Every structure is written in C-alpha cells, then in structure tokens.
Amino acid sequence: MKLLEGAGRRSPPRNGEMPVMMRMTVRMRLPRKNEEEQPIRRKEAKPRTVMRRTVMWGKERRERREEERKEGRRKKTVRVRRVVRRRKRRKMRGSSSDSSSHSDDEEEESLSEGEMARLKEEVEEKKKLIANIRNKPWRMKRRLMHLKEAQTFVDKFEGALGKGKGRKWYAYKVMMTKKWIKFQRDFENFRTACIPWESRIKEVESHFGSSVASYFIFLRWMYGMNLVLFGFTFGLVVIPEVLMGLPYGSVPRKTVPRAEQPTAQDYSVLMDFQGYCKYSVMFYGYYNDQRTIGLLKFRLPLSYLMVGIGTFGYSLMVVIRTMAKNADVGGGDGDEGEFTFSWKMFTSWDYLIGNAETADNKYASITTSFKESIVDEQENQKDENIHLRRFLRVLANFLIICSLGGSGYLIYFVVKRSQEFATRDDLSWYEKNEVEIIMSLLGLLCPPLFETIAELEDYHPRIALKWQLGRIFALFLGNLYTFLFALFDEVNTKLEQEQAIKNSSIWAMKEYYANYSRLVNDSEATPPPMDPADVIRGPCWETAVGIEFVKLTVSDIQVTYLTILIGDFARAVIVRFLNYCWCWDLEAGFPSYGEFDISGNVLGLVFNQGMIWMGAFYAPGLVGINVLRLLSSMYYQCWAVMATNVPHERVFKASKSNNFYMGLLLLILFLSLLPVVYTIMTLPPSFDCGPFSGKAKMFDVIMETIDLDLPAFMGTIFSYAANPGLIIPAVLLMVWFSYKKNRRNNTDSTNQVMKDLEDLLPNRSLIPLAPPPEPEPQAKPTKTKPGSAGKGVNLEKDVALASTNPNTRGPVSRPPGPRGPGSMAGPGGGQGRGRGRGPPLR
Amino acid sequence: MGNKQTIFTDEQLDAYQVRLLHGRYHELAPHLVPMDYTNDPDCKLPLALIVNMPELKENPFRNRIVEAFSEDGAGNLSFNEFVDMFSVLSEMAPRELKAIYAFKIYDFNVDNYLCKEDLEKTLNKLTKEELTPEEVELVCEKTIEEADLDGDNKLSFTDFENMISRAPDFLSTFHIRI
C-alpha cells in the first residue's frame, strides 16, 4: 500500500533486543535474525560510533544499523564504516580496494565489487519485501511500518550504490527503471479501466451469484480472442485486397455472372449469401491470385495462408495458456464425501450476494442442502442392490446408444434426401429446409431425453453430469460429421464439375474470338477480352464451403436469439401477466420463470467457436460476423438474464475440474483444425477463384515464396524442417511442456501462517504449532448413498468460470466447470427443462 | 489473449483503487471522514455504519467480518482496516490469507478454536434457524468429526486450514467485489 504511507503511522518498535544506543532514534522493527551477531558488531562498532557520534546524523545512523542487521558476514562492519565515512566525505586514509581487510586503515574512494554486491543484495531484499508485503497477513499498521522502512532504505541505497565507477550510469538506470515501473503501473490502471462490461457483470453477479456471472466472463474472454482473430484477418487479408487489389468487376472472379445479375440484389438471394454477397471480400473466391499486389508488393496469397494457419496457432496458444493458468488453482483434489458438512458450513454462502431476494433464495437452498445431507447421512446404512443398479445402468446406456444411433441415421437419411431434392425445382419450404429443421429438433429434444434416461442410472450427480455432457458432445459430433460429410460430397461433385467447366470455358473463349474476328472482318485485330460477367465460371468449391459455414453460423445465431426470446422472455411475460387470471399459480407452479441454463449456453458458445474456426479459412468475413454476434450476445443475454430469469434455487457445488470446458474447447479446436488442414494439404484449389487458383496444392504458395523470395540456403533448411516427423513431435512437446508446468504446486507454509495468526488475534494466545496435518482421520463414510440422491438431492454444480487464482498477476477467467442439467425431477417444477439447448444447428 | 477481470490490480494497488475505496469510506460518514489524510487523522467508523454497505448488507456474517478486521475487536474500522478488509476479500488475496481471516470470522467467541458453539452459531446464521436442534447437533458433530485432526473436539486453525484448502469453492465464495 505504497500510497498510504503518508497516512500510515509509525509505532514504537516492539523488538526489545535492539542495541542501547540505537533505541533512542531507531523506529524500525527489523527481522530478528541476526541477534547473536549484533553484540559482536556492536563491540567493534562502538568506538568508532562514539567518536563520530557528534557528526552522525540520524539518517546515517539508521543506514548503518540497517546494514549491520542484515544477515551476513563480519566483513560488513568494516564496509559499513567505510560507507559511513565515505558518505561523510572524510579525509581519505587510503584507497585500497581490498574488501577483506579488517583494518581501520582501509579507506576507499569507491565501493568495491563485494560491497556493491552486498548492498545490492540488501536492496533487492527490501524490494522483495515491498513486493510481497501485500500477501503478508499482518495488521495494516505493521505493514505500513515495514513498507516505509523498506522504501526509505531502498531510496537511500540506490543512491549509494551509484557512487564509484559507473555511478552516473547506475543512477540513470535506476531512474529509468523507476519511470518504467511507473509507466507500467499507469498502463495497468488504464487497462483495468478499459475492461468492458465490468459493471454489467457485477450486477449480474450480485443478483445471480458467481456461477451465472462466470458464463458472461467466459463470453467476454471469447469476445477478446475473436477480436484478435478478426484483427489479424481484417488487417492482413481483407484490407490489402480491398485497398491494393483489383476492384469489383474487373476480373471474372470478382463479378457476378451474367446469368445471376438480374437477381443479384434481391433480399432473399442476399440472405442466402448468393448474389453480391458471394462475390465480395467475405468469401474465399473473391481474392486474386497475383503473387504480389500494389506498390508495397504485398504477397496476398502467402498472407492468406499464413493468417489461416496463424488463426489456429494463436487460438491454440491462448487456450493452452488459459488452461495452464487455471490448472494452478487446484483447490484440492479430495474425494466426494470427505468434507461434506464442513464445506457446506464454511463455503456455501456466496459473499458476492448483495440482493435481498437472492439472499433469501440462498438461505433456502442452504437449508435444503443441509436437510438433504442429513437425510443421506441417516440413510447411509441401507443395503444397496448392486445387481439391479448395474442392470439399470447397462439398460440406460443401451437406450442412449440406440437414440444416438437413431439420430445419426435420421440425419444421414435426411441429408441423402436433400441431395435428391437438389435436383428438383419445385420444393416446398419444408423440403428446402428439411435438414436444418430435423437437426434443430434433434438438438432441442435429445438432451432432455438423455437426462430422463439417465435417471435410471442412479449416479452421483457429478458423475451423471459428466455422462450427460459426454452424450451431448457425442450428439454434436454426430451432427458435425454428418454436416462435414454432406459438405465433402458437395466438394467432390464440384471438383468433378470443374474439369468439365475448364474445358468448356476454353472452348467458349475460342468461340468468342472466332466470332469476334468474323464480325469485325479483320483477322489481324486483337479482340478485347471477354466481359468478366460472361466468362464461364468454375464451381468454386471453397466459396461454397464458406457459404455453408456462414449460413450455419447465422442460423445458429437466429436459433439462439429466438430461443431466448420465446423460451425466456415470452414465458416470463406469460407467467407474469396471465397469472392474474389463471387457475393455478403460474409463478410457483408449472412454467414459472426460467433459470439461466449455464452449461447449455457454454456448450453452445464452445461449439459455435468450433464452427468459426472451421469456416474462417474459407470465409474471412465469418470472424467479423462472430465478433458482432458475441458483442450483441453480451448485451442481449445480460438484459435477458436480468429481466426474465430467476436465481437458481438449487444447491450449487463447484466442480473440481475447472478446466473441463477449456479442455472441450481445445478438443474442438483440434477437430476444427483437421478438416481445414486436410483440405489445404490434399484438395486442389479451384482453377479460377481464390488466392491459390492455378496451383496444384494450396501450400505451394509457400514453396514458391521460399524459392523466389528467400535466399537459397533457407530453401534447403525448410525442406528439412517441414518433415512431418519433426513437426508432430514438436507439437506434442509443446503440449507436454504446458502440462508439466501445471504440475508445479504452491507449497503452503503453515508455520509462518501460524505466527501471523497469533499476531493478529487480539488476545495474543499462543497457538502451538501443529504437526503437518494427517490426510485421513479415522473411519468415516466415504460416499453418501446415491440411492436417495437421485430423487431427493437436487445438487447442481456451480460453473466456476471466474478465475479466482490469487497467485497470478491478472487472473484470467477460469472456464466453467460442469453444471447440472437444467432440471431434475424435484420440487419447484420443471425449470428450464424443455429448453435443453443442444448443439448449434443448421 | 486473456481477459483480465481484476478490480484490484496486483502489486500496483494504486491511487485509483485507493481513491475509490476512500470514496466509499467517506460516503459512509461524510462528516466524520476527512478527505485529507496527510496529517494522519485518527478516525474510525463504527460497526453499524459499515455493515450497512450494500456489499455486506445481506451477508449473515457481516458483523463478524467487520469485527475480525478491526483492531479493537468491536468493529470500529479505521480507513486502513477498511482497505485491509476489502483487500483480503478481493480476488487477489492468496488462499492462506483468506483462510486465516475466514477462521477469525467464524470464531465467534474469539478463543482461536472453532468449538461447537461457534459451529452452531454459524449454522444458525446460515439457515436462519430453520433446522431443528437435533439436526443442528448432528451437523456440528459431523463437521467436527470430518475436520478435527487432533481429536480435541474443536477445530484449531490447522484443522480448519487443512479442510478449507481442499474446498473447491472456497475462493470463489469468499470473495467480495467492490
């Protein structure tokens, strides 16, 4: 608390062992370590001090004592005298630089190396104390006192160290360091003040608790990451093409074909991302394949590829870094029932609650939770029927696998049908959108179905939750792979078409020239190039893929917003206003107000990000769309939560696996990486659109750059380094390193803590230092019986997204831990049950 | 790119944050609290004023929290202690520090042990006395049984610390944002 030093007080030293002569002026309490050394030093120092008493001022004396008291070597005394004398500018008695002599005759003009080092050490120690003073559990007074001492010392001696050789440079260095620290501090302030939405999130937090707020913190984190990705894409790909590339209409790839021109501006066509939308910077096909563009010779194709790969690299780095940070916050790894009651008693109240209604809810839920645990405890002796339970679990898994298989087949069937439909023209609205509708329905209905089946299994709520999330994830994967399968089919078809079109376009060109020369009757004239709108165009599969992803994202946005509007807002309006004229109490009974479905929303966010990663390579505009989506989501969902949701009634238990959702994000990152990398490596780019047109493979552009732009030897180096045998181990090593780092634990030092606690207590009773705690006391029931848990205990897990890592500099949001499903059979009616938000839908 | 959501930036607890806190402290009692601290005034605010802050108002342990940070044990906080309180309860405070103060807060009779009476009082505050005496008795017994390591039927700081260090949500719940 540096700024409080003006307000702090100095208290008289409590250390009684200080040397007599010093007691009069010293007001510092320094570590008691060197007491046995002091008498010796005192003896040596005394004569000199006495002689100089009249000339030593308070400050000088204090400095000297400071130094004396540092743990160290006896030589210190001599050096101390030297320093003191030097500061007094006494007459020199010699100028030896031998620091080991004890003789009084040693006198130097400048500090020797050893002295300087020692002084530096002391200064460093004091600095460390200043840095750590906040973490010490002392009273404020004591802290301020120490802080002031340490700072005075540092200030004094930073000047002193400057004497001697290079002192000007040292002083300059010190000044620059101070300025730099100040600058850093101001910058940190500025950064903190710039963090967006802080007050909004605080409001949500005080009403709904930390778990709901943690979703918004995660959303904000995603927004930040997407903003950076957007910056890359926009700055390095879109802007150069717009500013330095050819304008619209100049080349075939940038022009709407003649056949489509009449409808190119229609709203419905634009909504489908055809027409003018398709031939814009948003999609891959617009970009030209010139090796360098503009005056600056900007290499656009290379930049495009690098940005595409860099997107993944950056995301990977950020996710792993966040995981590493969050893994530091272990929070203990005890098993389920170890401290049930203790934790309930001491950690169930959420200190963030500032709202009376929320507090009431919390009291109620804590009471319920205690009652449930008591009941469980009392029923603990009941016999379990293992065989029945096993049978039920197997049955449940079988049913779920059946339903997963059923949904997979349904999607496959519908996709096949849509391929048939593609050949027909007279389609009803339903037939046109059948795939999307079916997938949406599956996404909405399957999660609650899984929940219902899972009640057969009778697992502990946390385990049940993990199963549930795993199953939803499997459902999503099914959707995803079906979608990719459909896309891949389309791509292959287009590639086949391309061959045919290539031939026909050459043929058309020849025809055009033949016609032209016939019309003009001048076989020598060079015909003007064909109008770009008339050139026969290839199918451009990359743009088609990009369009698919953009449509998917947009429809996902629409579904999300609609679900909130209808599922939450309309419901709240109905419950509020129809309540006056309805037979039963709508607010307490059936629909009531919705609760915020944290896990559903977080999963949705994670899956959406996966889509973005997959599609960003083919549609650079997609990242921009996502940034806008996240921005509006933040405001919209904050409003929706405050206006239409009620705080959760159920008990929350934080998950221990805080990195669960980050792990999911990482997994999805890899899954998104695969298709893109596959297409870059194996599929040939379209011949007439995009920055890689004309090349055999997309990464040929790198080869080209190495050959043409870089010196020759680098080419050979790269050819060795590009060996997959090197790259894969390198990636694995990197991942391994990041997890190694996570294993480092912070050791608790209970002893010091005990001493400090002692100090803090008003009555100062001595607490005997207890031996290191034994982990397991005697026999105790390890698990409360989960038999009754399924019905009676409605435990839901807190999604602890907010980072509470005290050990890092600026805590990053911790990802959410798994949270219970939206509702289980229990009191209070089915809150949010019908609203299972599944994976993103077409 | 991480998302920093600290309110207290770490070592550089700076003029901005302290001024914010001072603003809050001042508005609790504008006549009593001076704006100028250079002369080191000796001004303490009573318990009753501090527990009415919105951040503390709904907390069942608000009285104990303020008492734990006051030097005289009666809840009168000087500005330093006020800052101390919010600093320990902030996100940045280390776990050990929080554990120490949590222990102090839950120790109602200030004897450095969480004895049965302390636990009963804690439980009653948490449940607003909704549990029957038998249930209270059972819960307190179970708690002591779970956490007591040295077998003296009350929880010393070591026991408490051992138990709380494994609690997954201690850090997230023992947190006040200001």
Phi, psi values for residue A209, rounded to 5°: 90, 175
Query: What percentage of chain A has pLDDT greater than the value 70?
Result: 67
Phi, psi values for residue A723, rounded to 5°: -65, 125
Lowest mean pLDDT among A42-51, A497-506, A603-612, A671-680: A42-51
Quickly tell me which residue has 């989501």 as its tokens: A633
pLDDT the model gives residue A663: 83
Nearest Cα of chain A lies from the Cα of B45 at a distance, in angstroms, of: 16
From first CA to last CA, the distance across chain A in angstroms is: 55
CA dihedral sign, ordered A549, A550, A551, A557: positive
Which of A241, A284, A251, A242 is closest to A533 using CA atoms?
A: A251
* CB atoms A198 and B5 under 8 Å: yes
What is the average pLDDT across A152-167? 68
Chain A residue nearest residue B41, CA to CA: A7
pLDDT the model gives residue A27: 41
The amino acid that residue A376 corresponds to is D
Query: How many whole angstroms separate alpha carbon B131 and alpha carbon A592?
Result: 27
For the cut 60, the answer to whether the pLDDT of residue A803 exceeds it is: no
Maximum separation of any 2 CA atoms in chain B, in Å = 56
A185 touches chain B (CB under 8 A): yes
pLDDT the model gives residue A452: 85
- DSSP for residue B114: B
Of A343, A367, A770, the CB nearest to B156: A770
pLDDT the model gives residue A2: 36
Question: Taking a contact as any Cβ pair under 8 Å apart, which residues of chain A between 650 and 689 contact chain B?
Answer: 652-656
Query: How many whole angstroms separate alpha carbon A303 and alpha carbon A237?
Result: 7
Query: How many whole angstroms separate alpha carbon A241 and alpha carbon A286?
Result: 9
Summarize pLDDT for A609-640 with one digit per residue, the tens: 998 999 999 999 999 999 999 999 999 999 99
- Count the neighbouring beta carbons within 10 Å of the beta carbon of residue A34: 16
SS3 for A703? helix
Query: How many whole angstroms separate alpha carbon A645 and alpha carbon A633?
Result: 16
Point out which residues pair with B155 in neighbouring strands: B114
pLDDT the model gives residue A69: 53
A392 touches chain B (CB under 8 A): no
pLDDT the model gives residue A233: 93
Query: How many whole angstroms separate alpha carbon B65 and alpha carbon B53?
Result: 13
Q: Which of A345, A659, A753 to mutate to test the interface with B (most CBs of B within 10 A)?
A: A345
Lowest mean pLDDT among A80-89, A153-162, B53-62: A80-89
A479 touches chain B (CB under 8 A): no
- Neighboring chain A residues of B89 at a CB cutoff of 8 Å: 351
Quickly tell me which residue has 């009803």 as its tokens: A428
Alpha helices (runs of H) in chain B, residue ranges in sequence order = 15-28, 47-50, 54-57, 62-69, 79-88, 95-106, 116-127, 133-147, 157-165, 170-173
Query: How many whole angstroms separate alpha carbon A444 and alpha carbon A748?
Result: 47
Query: How many whole angstroms separate alpha carbon A456 and alpha carbon A717?
Result: 60
Q: Which bin fits A540, alpha (ψ -120 to 50), beta or left (φ > 0)?
A: left
SS3 for B77? strand
* CB atoms A195 and B84 under 8 Å: no
Summarize pLDDT for A32-48 with one digit per residue, the tens: 444 443 444 444 434 44
Distances (CA, A) of A660 to A491, A549, A666, A672: 35, 26, 10, 18
Nearest Cα of chain B lies from the Cα of A382 at a distance, in angstroms, of: 19
Query: How many whole angstroms separate alpha carbon A552 and alpha carbon A839?
Result: 12
* CB atoms B173 and A352 under 8 Å: yes
* CB atoms B91 and A806 under 8 Å: yes
- Count the neighbouring beta carbons within 10 Å of the beta carbon of residue A395: 13
Nearest Cα of chain A lies from the Cα of B134 at a distance, in angstroms, of: 10
Helix or strand (DSSP H, E) at A653: strand A651-654
Task: Provide the CA A66 distance to its chain's centre, in angstroms.
Answer: 46
- Neighboring chain A residues of B175 at a CB cutoff of 8 Å: 210, 351-352, 804
- Neighboring chain B residues of A323 at a CB cutoff of 8 Å: none
Query: How many whole angstroms separate alpha carbon A173 and alpha carbon A178?
Result: 9
pLDDT the model gives residue A461: 62
Point out which residues pair with A595 in neighbouring strands: A646
pLDDT the model gives residue A358: 84
Question: Taking a contact as any Cβ pair under 8 Å apart, which residues of chain A between 130 and 169 contact chain B?
Answer: 131, 134-135, 137, 139-141, 144
* CB atoms A760 and B71 under 8 Å: no
Phi, psi values for residue A100, rounded to 5°: -95, -5
* CB atoms A352 and B110 under 8 Å: no
Phi, psi values for residue A653, rounded to 5°: -125, 125
Which of A330, A326, A240, A322 is closest to A286 using CA atoms?
A: A240
Of A325, A348, A813, the CB nearest to B5: A813
Summarize pLDDT for A432-450 with one digit per residue, the tens: 667 777 777 777 778 888 8
Q: Which of A222, A351, A747 to mutate to test the interface with B (most CBs of B within 10 A)?
A: A351
Per DSSP, the residues of A525-561 read SPPPPPPGGGS-----HHHHHHHHHHHHHHHHHHHHH
* CB atoms A363 and B126 under 8 Å: yes
Chain A residue nearest residue B67, CA to CA: A762
* CB atoms B175 and A358 under 8 Å: no
Which of B114, B13, B119, B28 is closest to B79 using CA atoms?
A: B28
A760 touches chain B (CB under 8 A): yes
For the cut 70, the answer to whether the pLDDT of residue A544 exceeds it is: yes
Quickly tell me which residue has 């910056």 as its tokens: A231
Nearest Cα of chain A lies from the Cα of B28 at a distance, in angstroms, of: 17
Query: How many whole angstroms separate alpha carbon A802 and alpha carbon A813?
Result: 5
Which of A640, A839, A818, A812 is closest to A224 using CA atoms?
A: A812
Using 50, 70 and 90 to split pLDDT, how confident is the model at A62?
low
Using 50, 70 and 90 to split pLDDT, how confident is the model at A332?
very low
A723 touches chain B (CB under 8 A): no
Which of B97, B147, B85, B89 is closest to B119 using CA atoms?
A: B147
CA angle A121, A123, A128 (to 5 degrees): 95
Helix or strand (DSSP H, E) at A58: helix A58-69
What is the average pLDDT across A343-368? 87
CA atoms within 13 A on the CB side of A589: 7
Nearest Cα of chain A lies from the Cα of B27 at a distance, in angstroms, of: 18
**What's the length of chain B?**
178
A46: Cβ contacts below 8 Å, ≥ 6 apart: none
A9 touches chain B (CB under 8 A): yes
Nearest Cα of chain A lies from the Cα of B115 at a distance, in angstroms, of: 13
- Neighboring chain A residues of B133 at a CB cutoff of 8 Å: none
Chain A residue nearest residue B160, CA to CA: A342
- Neighboring chain B residues of A342 at a CB cutoff of 8 Å: 143, 146-147, 163, 167
* CB atoms A366 and B96 under 8 Å: no
- Neighboring chain A residues of B15 at a CB cutoff of 8 Å: 3
How does B68-98 read in b/e, with b if 16+ C-beta sit within 10 Å? bbbbeeebbbbbbbbbbbbbbbbbbbbbbbb
A315 touches chain B (CB under 8 A): no
In chain B the domains, ranked by start, together with CATH numbers, are: 9-89 (1.10.238.10), 94-177 (1.10.238.10)
Pick the more confident residue, A226 or A85.
A226
Query: How many whole angstroms separate alpha carbon A764 and alpha carbon B71?
Result: 12
For the cut 70, the answer to whether the pLDDT of residue A360 exceeds it is: yes
* CB atoms A757 and B157 under 8 Å: yes
Lowest mean pLDDT among A186-200, A211-225, A597-611, A749-763: A749-763
Q: Are A64 and A84 in contact (CB under 8 A)?
A: yes
Which of A647, A351, A357, A195 is closest to B177 using CA atoms?
A: A351
pLDDT the model gives residue A415: 75
Phi, psi values for residue A70, rounded to 5°: -65, 150
* CB atoms A753 and B161 under 8 Å: yes
Number of H helices and E strands in chain A, helices first, is 27, 4
Of A6, A188, A773, the CB nearest to B9: A188
Nearest Cα of chain B lies from the Cα of A693 at a distance, in angstroms, of: 34
Nearest Cα of chain B lies from the Cα of A300 at a distance, in angstroms, of: 26
Mean pLDDT: which of A54-63, A88-97, A227-236, B25-34 is highest? A227-236
* CB atoms A371 and B135 under 8 Å: yes
Is residue B52 classed exposed, middle or buried when 0-12, 13-18 and 19+ CB atoms within 10 A define those classes? Answer: exposed
pLDDT the model gives residue A636: 94
Pick the more confident residue, A508 or A638.
A638
SS3 for A342? helix
For the cut 50, the answer to whether the pLDDT of residue A57 exceeds it is: no
Summarize pLDDT for A553-600 with one digit per residue, the tens: 888 888 888 888 988 888 888 888 888 888 877 777 777 787 787 777
Q: Are A796 and A652 in contact (CB under 8 A)?
A: yes
Q: Are B46 and B76 in contact (CB under 8 A)?
A: yes
* CB atoms B149 and A773 under 8 Å: yes
A212 touches chain B (CB under 8 A): no
Taking chain B (178 residues) in runs of 10, the rounded mean pLDDT of each run is: 37 67 88 77 86 91 92 87 90 89 92 91 90 90 89 90 88 87
**What's the length of chain A?**
842
A7 touches chain B (CB under 8 A): yes
Nearest Cα of chain A lies from the Cα of B29 at a distance, in angstroms, of: 19
For the cut 90, the answer to whether the pLDDT of residue A760 exceeds it is: no
Which of B80, B32, B12, B164 is closest to A339 using CA atoms?
A: B164
Using 50, 70 and 90 to split pLDDT, how confident is the model at A9?
very low
Pick the more confident residue, A722 or A56.
A722
Pick the more confident residue, A158 or A268.
A268
Alpha helices (runs of H) in A693-842, residue ranges in sequence order = 700-709, 712-721, 724-742, 750-760
Lowest mean pLDDT among A119-123, A184-188, A838-842, B19-23: A838-842
Helix-strand-coil percent breakdown of chain A, rounded to 5?
65, 0, 35
Phi, psi values for residue A755, rounded to 5°: -60, -40
* CB atoms A748 and B165 under 8 Å: yes
